[in-house]
A and B are shown apart, each in its own frame.
Chain A
């Protein structure tokens, strides 16, 4: 069967657009929801109260998992107090980037409100940069062993912060050179990395249901091994769907 006929046949049953739109709605709603939780987390920590997130985690899993031995609440009380002035801006600006991000990937929004897309993009990049700088400052000033889940997570977080900064820079350079496809590719990568924060919490909940023998710290270090590729997979599938479903070789495009 030739490619043309296969493609025509498949188009009749192609629901991928609807699936992607539905996935986008779910993802955006969750990003907005988690952004508010992240924004609030260190304010309540400063006043010595449980954050909304910890209350939700207690409800979804158990109070032992959310605040007991091996939890962020218990293990990180001292390191978080010591690094409070790094972590507060880190989460606040990270929440801004997380809330803005999903809207930037909506093609309808991008095409119709280009000026707004650019302004929001600048706010996103600035928030992301500030958040990452404070994140790195916290990790540098905190002994590796004191970071939640220990040394591997500490190294992983430093790597994540640096990668977010670098891919944000690449995305900025590409759009300055008017390379829209490359810009989208790097923004998809960048936002996937930012999305790792809420995704980690989702996986905590899901895996705590599936494997209740582990506490938060143990699950955290296990999830960390595949978390970023797991999120990047979503970003790269989006990018592929948007930009690479074209046979450029046949049409004599720039690919080589």
Chain B
């Protein structure tokens, strides 16, 4: 990947990390909740109680997201070295990236299940997390398959897809505010719409990046 691509990814990683750090840790200590003013005091109190009980889970989730985002950048920088000499360079960070991504999916699912239907987005958010966890694990399997077999393009493409999923919080929270204000949705409707549009949009963007921008015209069959 070129330096300008890396810089864009770095900016996105910093933004996503800050959003996750704020929404899953900082907002419980300071008044910085992005969607706090849009939701009810009952939900905020409930989320605070949940955080107090499962603090460790929230911390693990946040740390894993941030780590995976920054390890991903290192992998993007070195991916062109694969297979040959790149195998040594990329092997350890790739394992760390896979591990962190898997932890993100699992801890996110656990937080969502523990919150249940009392939180913003209600039951639908649990469905979202179940779907996301499944998709994340299949994508991680595709990364592993590509790495083991030395399929560099496949590896790069699936790392980009997983990376896109890690960036989702950076899309979801601002979009929730947008839907809430533009179409007069309730906070639950706004969150569900934001989640749906962001999840699909992220796949479209990552597919567009791999197919159109990075390009790999390997064969004409």
Contacts and interface: CB of A to CB of B under 8 A. Distances in A.
Say whether A associates with B.
yes
Interface of A: 3, 6-7, 10, 107, 111, 144, 150-152, 155-156, 159-160, 163, 167, 170, 178-182, 185-186, 189, 214, 218, 221-230, 232-233, 236-237, 240, 243-250, 253-256
Given A151-B183, A159-B200, A229-B203, A247 B152 contact: yes
A249 B210 CA distance: 15
B128 to A, nearest CB: 4
Given A156-B193, A159-B197, A218-B123, 11 more contacts: A167-B204, A180-B219, A180-B221, A222-B127, A225-B128, A225-B195, A226-B130, A230-B131, A233-B138, A243-B218, A255-B218
A179 B217 contact: yes
B180 to A, nearest CB: 11
A254 B179 CA distance: 41
A3 B197 contact: no
Nearest to B131: A226
Contact of A225 (B82, B183, B196, B212): B196
Contacts of A229: 131-132, 135, 199-200, 202-203
A225 B151 contact: no
Interface of B: 1-2, 80, 82-84, 87, 123-128, 130-132, 134-135, 138-139, 142, 146, 148-154, 157-158, 161, 179, 183, 185, 189, 192-193, 195-197, 199-204, 207, 210-212, 214-221
Contact of B215 (A167, A180, A228, A256): A256
B154 A245 contact: yes
Contacts of B196: 152, 155-156, 159, 224-225, 228
A225 B131 contact: yes
A86 B201 CA distance: 26
Contacts of A240: 142, 146, 154, 157-158
B142 A247 contact: no
Q: B82, B127, B135, B201: which has the most chain A beta carbons within 10 Å?
A: B127
Report the 3 A-B pairs with minimum CB-CB distance, sorted nearest first: A226-B131, A222-B127, A3-B150
Contacts of A182: 211-212, 215, 217
Contact of B142 (A178, A214, A237, A256): A237
A247 to B, nearest CB: 5
Contacts of A256: 1-2, 80, 214-215
A214 B130 CA distance: 16
Contacts, number: 178
A42 B217 CA distance: 43
A250 B152 contact: yes
Given A3-B83, A182-B211, A156 B197 contact: yes
B220 to A, nearest CB: 5
Contact of A181 (B157, B200, B203, B218): B218
A254 B217 contact: yes
Nearest to B148: A6
Contacts of B217: 179, 181-182, 253-254
A10 B148 CA distance: 9
Contacts of B219: 180-181, 243, 246
A254 B189 contact: no
B8 to A, nearest CB: 15
Given A3-B149, A7-B149, A240-B142, A222 B123 contact: yes
Given A250-B83, A250-B84, A151 B193 contact: yes
A182 B116 CA distance: 42
A10 B149 contact: yes
A225 B218 contact: no
Contacts of A159: 196-197, 200-201
A221 B152 contact: no
A148 to B, nearest CB: 14
